[in-house]
Amino acid sequence: MAQILALLFVILEGQPAQVVDTGELMDIFLKPAYAELQQVMAKPPADRKEWATIYQKAVRVAELSNLLFFRTHEDARKPEWSATAARARQAAADVAAAALLGLRTVKPENYTAVRAKYPAVAETCNACHSTFARDAVTVKP
């Protein structure tokens, strides 16, 4: 009950607060967002709409990664937590930035740059999992 009251106080004060535990965050938000990114990265984009979809899926993963900074468990207070969360966010943001260039130019060769950045998203997820959640799934690019 005390945790619920503390959460309500933070919400009423307008401050960011964790609502679900980290496992639920992964299962409900990040895992589906990554799966969508994985799906659109499976083949080169054929047109501007597909470039936009890659950008949208990558930027969604980057923004959702910001939620990792609002965790309240003991590991989240360690400097390594923030560092790995920042690397994960940046990896997805790098894919989004490369996709944005592809969206602007619609050149097939830009997919090579996007594709080169994409594996880092899975690598940073797995680095965090191996450090903080050894029982978490291994993310594949």
Q: How far apart are CA 129 and CA 26, in angstroms?
A: 11
pTM attached to this predicted model: 0.86
Nearest to 92 by CA among 25, 41, 17: 41
Which residues have C-beta within 8 Å of that of residue 21, sequence separation ≥ 6? 73
Q: How far apart are CA 94 and CA 45, in angstroms?
A: 17
**Candidate from 6-15, 28-37, 82-91, 117-126 with smallest mean pLDDT:** 6-15
Q: What percent of the chain has pLDDT over 90?
A: 61
Q: How far apart are CA 131 and CA 133, in angstroms?
A: 6
pLDDT tens profile 31-56: 999 999 999 999 999 999 999 999 99
Which pLDDT does position 9 carry in this prediction? 60
Answer for the pair 71, 18: CB distance below 8 angstroms, yes or no: yes
Given pLDDT bands bounded at 50, 70 and 90, which one contains residue 4? low
Which pLDDT does position 120 carry in this prediction? 96
Which pLDDT does position 1 carry in this prediction? 57
**Which pair of tokens denotes residue 103?**
């969206």
Nearest to 72 by CA among 137, 10, 128: 10
What structural domains does the chain harbor? 17-132 (1.20.120)
pLDDT at 5 over 70: no
Which pLDDT does position 15 carry in this prediction? 76
